[in-house]
Each structure stands twice: as structure tokens, then as C-alpha cells.
């Protein structure tokens, strides 16, 4: 099928490349001319493991093309996926102006039947508004359409894997025709019948559940999923604080709690909190949705508040160790909001660093992928060539993004080059015992009281 994907961000680009790989012809549209130029020259506008190869292979095979004019794509494609950004307005609501603009452009140029699918994360009832919009603004009486919601559940850093091996595909429709078209589009993924571009011996080949709902429910499923995951993180962070206060080990607590199949082990890693372009934004938008509908969403406000407090608590820990931070050299490992991405939007590491810079610390940081993007947001940081350079002469190193490369560092060397061998681990990526054995003072999240840390450090 010919498919138009509007928006070449994380979601749009992975969707476009994934659909092309599974046999469709995809036209990906973005009004950012520079981005289109970058993509057409075989480069990538952002880092995402496995995506560059996928895009390039399909572009060369002419199954995937990049254009800046929506008209060309609409004329050739029956299915149109809207994958544009929905950032947060000051009042917490999702800003739907880009979605509306795309809808307006479609209304102006579409003829015949189209299936318009919202993939951007949008508040419930956006589909209804789109339907009304097309009714009011369509230029041609020949244009008629179905609107569908098809929320995406891609994680940055593993987006390609998530596209090919999703836990489920959710579609919100109000016609059988729309459901059938979407089932056709996703058939290779649903049946896992494609040649897997990421795994040599692809094990995960059972049929993917295809969940068909009404449009409102599909829209809500996305916000509810992200909010639930964010809630799990804030929950374990709350427990981590208690563990620190009473002298228990949050790692063990999370492990055993997560063994209960009803709870599940994932998203129970404590740390400096969740960031990125999704959880903070979606949580705020969902709280607004609840509020506007007259429902009590105080639970989610608390999830947000706990998350914001993670930065205060971590900065307090740093000060507890260093006392005065002004003029002190602090090394930072990790700037991205999580590993395997160069994304620094709502990045907890940057939030911690900003606080330290404001208090006069000298911050020297390293991240394997995110330094270019961080430079644009925080030019005051001294960026280093590698993790050792960031640790050189530092009175403390903050480990803030759990990149695998940090686990392979020569810790003996790190200890020797630091002014004081103090590591504050905001992601619990190292083990207390290993760090103590290597002669570090080590502070993590939620593995007992500060006294325990010093005992371990001294042993």
C-alpha cells in the first residue's frame, strides 16, 4: 500500500522506515527543509540504534522517500499517518496546533477516500475533532475519509525493535473499512512474517495481538499506558527514599516485588527520575484531560511531584557529600535522558547540572551520543572527550545515564585520576560492593543509610 507519514521525528521516521521495510511504499513528509535535505543525503537528524541502516536501505530501494510538500504525499497515498509533535502548553495541555495544521493541509488537497490515522500522542476526543474538522474544511466534495487512532508505544533507543516486535498494536476506529485497512498495513508485523532486520535468529515470532477499539479508547490507552509506567517509577522512587531512611535495599525490594506477575519487574528502577519527550509531557496532558472531564487525577499529580523532587533530593545528596559546591570540579557521566539516545529533552542529568552550575560548581561532562544536543541547551558545561576526562581532577563524579560504556570503565584508573574518589550514582548502575572494593566512596539511590555507605567505603 502507498502510505504517507507526516512528521519525520522519532515516531514518524521509525514508522516510515519500518513500514517500508515490511513492503509498503512510504512517502515521509516534513516541513523542516533542512531535515529533508539531511535525510535525502543519507544522514540522520538524530541518533537511534539501527535506524540509519533501515532508512538507507529502504530509501535506496525506492520504497521510502522524503518530501517537504504534503500535497504530493496525499495525492498518492490512501493511508495518511499524522506523526507530528504535540508539545506541552503552559497550562499543561497538549499543543495540537501542528496536528490541526496537518489536518488543514489535508483538507485543502485531498480528493477521494483517505484513512487519516493519528499516531501522535493526543488527548482523548482528538479523533472526533479531526472528523469534524474534515467535514468543515474539506475543499473538495470528493474528499471523504475515516479517522483512526493508532497510538505508538516505541521507546527511544529501542524504537526499531519496538516497531518490529510490539507487545500489541492498538487501533481505534469507527468503521470496518478502517479496521481492515489498518490490519492490512500491519499484517507483516502482526503475523511476524517479515525478514527481521535486527535479529539473526529472531526468536520472538508469535502473532502480535491486534486490539481494535473505538477511537476515544485508543487515544486513552496511550496516555494511560505512559502514566502507569511513570507511576511505577515514582512509586519505586518513593520506596527508595524509605529504604534510605530506614536502612533497607531498594534493589532487593524491587526485585522481589517485581517477581509478582501481577506487578512485573520492569520500570521499577529507582533513580533521578523519568525524563524525555514523553512521560513528563503526557502526564501533564493526561492530568489536564482528567481535570477537564471533572475526574480526580490527584494520583498523577503526585507522580509528577515525586519525579520533580528527585532532582532536589539528588542535589541534596551531592551537597551532603561535598558541603559547599561552589568552585568544586564535578564530573558527570551521561547527559541523555536515558541510554541509547541523544535526546536531552527534559533530561534529569541536565536538570541536576543546571542546579550545580547555578551554585557555582565547575561541571565537566561526557555522554557517548548526547553532547551535541546538550551543548545547544547548556553551553556552560565543559564537554569532555571521554568518561576519564570528565573524572579527571573531580571531587565527585555523578553517574546520571546508564550507558553500557560506563560499566566497562577501568575503575582503578578512574579512582587514581579523581581528586576525591567519590561516585554518586543516580541510576544505580554500579554495585555498592564493587565500588567499595575498588576504594570508592559510593552513594547510590535507596540502598541504605549514609552510614552504611561510609561503612562499605571503609571496608
278 binding ligand UGA? (CB under 6 A):
yes
Segment 300 to 339, residues that bind ligand UGA, using CB under 6 A: 337-338
Minimum CB separation of residue 280 from ligand UGA in Å reads 9
55 or 268: CB nearest ligand UGA:
268
Minimum CB separation of residue 339 from ligand UGA in Å reads 8
- Write down the catalytic residue from 278, 295, 384, 432: 278
274 binding ligand UGA? (CB under 6 A):
yes
121 binding ligand UGA? (CB under 6 A):
yes
119 or 328: CB nearest ligand UGA:
119
271 binding ligand UGA? (CB under 6 A):
yes
Stretch that binds ligand UGA, among 188-196, 272-280, 378-386, 433-441 (CB under 6 A): 272-280
154 binding ligand UGA? (CB under 6 A):
yes
210 binding ligand UGA? (CB under 6 A):
no
- Using the rule CB under 6 A, which residue among 32, 109, 153, 213 binds ligand UGA? 153
71 or 241: CB nearest ligand UGA:
241
48 binding ligand UGA? (CB under 6 A):
no
384 labelled catalytic: no
- Using the rule CB under 6 A, which residue among 25, 267, 388, 436 binds ligand UGA? 267
Among left, alpha and beta (phi > 0; psi -120 to 50; other), residue 246 is alpha
201 or 266: CB nearest ligand UGA:
266
Minimum CB separation of residue 46 from ligand UGA in Å reads 12
Question: Mask of contacts with ligand UGA, 227-256, x by CB under 6 A?
Answer: --x---x-----------------------
Residues involved in catalysis: 278
Q: Can you give the binding site for ligand UGA, defined by CB under 6 A?
A: 121, 152-156, 226, 229, 233, 267-269, 271, 274-276, 278-279, 282, 337-338
Amino acid at each position: 500500500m502507498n502510505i504517507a507519514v507526516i512528521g519525520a521525528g522519532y515516531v514518524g521516521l521509525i514508522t516510515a522506515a519500518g513500514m517500508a521495510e515490511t513492503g509498503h511504499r512510504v512517502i515521509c513528509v516534513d516541513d523542516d527543509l533542512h531535515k529533508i535535505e539531511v535525510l535525502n543525503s543519507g544522514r540522520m537528524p538524530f541518533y537511534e540504534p539501527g535506524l540509519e541502516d533501515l532508512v538507507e536501505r529502504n530509501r535506496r530501494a525506492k520504497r521510502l522517500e522524503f518530501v517537504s510538500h504534503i500535497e504530493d504525499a496525499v495525492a498518492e497515498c490512501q493511508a495518511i499517518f499524522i506523526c507530528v509533535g504535540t508539545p506541552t502548553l503552559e497550562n499543561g495541555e497538549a499543543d495540537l496546533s501542528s496536528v490541526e495544521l496537518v489536518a488543514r493541509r489535508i483538507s485543502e488537497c485531498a480528493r477521494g477516500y483517505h484513512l487519516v490515522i493519528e499516531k501522535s500522542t493526543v488527548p482523548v476526543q482528538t479523533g472526533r475533532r479531526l472528523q469534524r474538522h474534515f467535514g468543515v474544511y474539506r475543499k473538495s466534495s470528493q474528499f471523504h475519509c475515516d479517522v483512526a487512532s493508532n497510538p505508538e508505544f516505541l521507546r527511544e533507543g529501542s524504537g526499531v525493535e519496538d516497531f518490529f516486535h510490539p507487545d500489541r498494536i492498538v487501533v481505534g476506529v469507527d468503521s470496518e473499512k478502517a479496521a481492515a485497512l489498518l490490519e492490512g498495513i500491519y499484517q507483516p508485523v502482526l503475523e511476524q512474517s517479515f525478514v527481521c532486520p535486527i535479529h539473526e535468529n529472531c526468536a520472538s515470532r508469535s502473532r502480535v495481538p491486534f486490539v481494535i477499539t473505538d477511537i476515544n479508547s485508543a487515544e486513552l490507552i496511550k496516555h494511560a499506558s505512559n502514566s502507569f509506567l511513570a507511576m511505577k517509577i515514582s512509586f519505586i522512587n518513593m520506596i527508595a527514599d524509605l529504604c534510605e531512611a530506614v536502612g533497607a535495599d531498594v534493589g532487593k525490594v524491587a526485585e522481589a516485588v517485581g517477581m509478582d506477575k501481577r506487578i512485573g519487574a520492569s520500570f521499577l528502577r529507582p533513580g533521578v527520575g523519568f525524563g524525555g519527550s514523553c512521560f513528563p509531557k503526557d502526564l501533564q496532558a493526561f492530568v489536564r484531560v482528567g481535570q477537564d472531564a471533572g475526574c480526580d487525577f490527584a494520583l498523577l499529580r503526585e507522580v509528577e511531584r515525586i519525579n520533580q523532587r528527585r532532582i532536589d533530593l539528588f542535589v541534596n545528596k551531592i551537597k551532603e557529600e561535598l558541603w559547599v559546591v561552589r568552585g568544586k570540579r564535578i564530573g558527570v557521566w551521561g547527559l541523555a535522558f536515558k541510554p541509547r539516545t541523544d535526546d536531552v529533552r527534559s533530561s534529569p542529568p541536565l536538570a541536576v547540572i543546571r542546579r550545580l552550575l547555578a551554585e557555582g560548581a565547575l561541571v565537566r561532562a561526557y555522554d557517548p551520543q548526547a553532547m551535541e544536543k546538550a551543548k545547544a541547551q547548556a553551553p556552560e558545561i565543559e564537554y569532555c572527550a571521554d568518561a576519564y576526562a570528565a573524572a579527571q581532577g573531580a571531587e565527585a563524579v555523578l553517574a546520571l545515564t546508564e550507558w553500557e560504556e560506563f560499566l566497562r570503565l577501568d575503575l582503578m584508573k578512574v579512582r587514581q585520576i579523581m581528586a576525591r574518589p567519590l561516585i554518586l550514582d543516580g541510576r544505580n548502575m554500579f554495585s555498592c560492593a564493587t565500588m567499595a572494593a575498588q576504594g570508592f566512596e559510593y552513594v547510590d539511590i535507596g540502598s541504605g543509610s549514609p552510614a552504611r555507605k561510609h561503612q562499605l567505603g571503609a571496608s
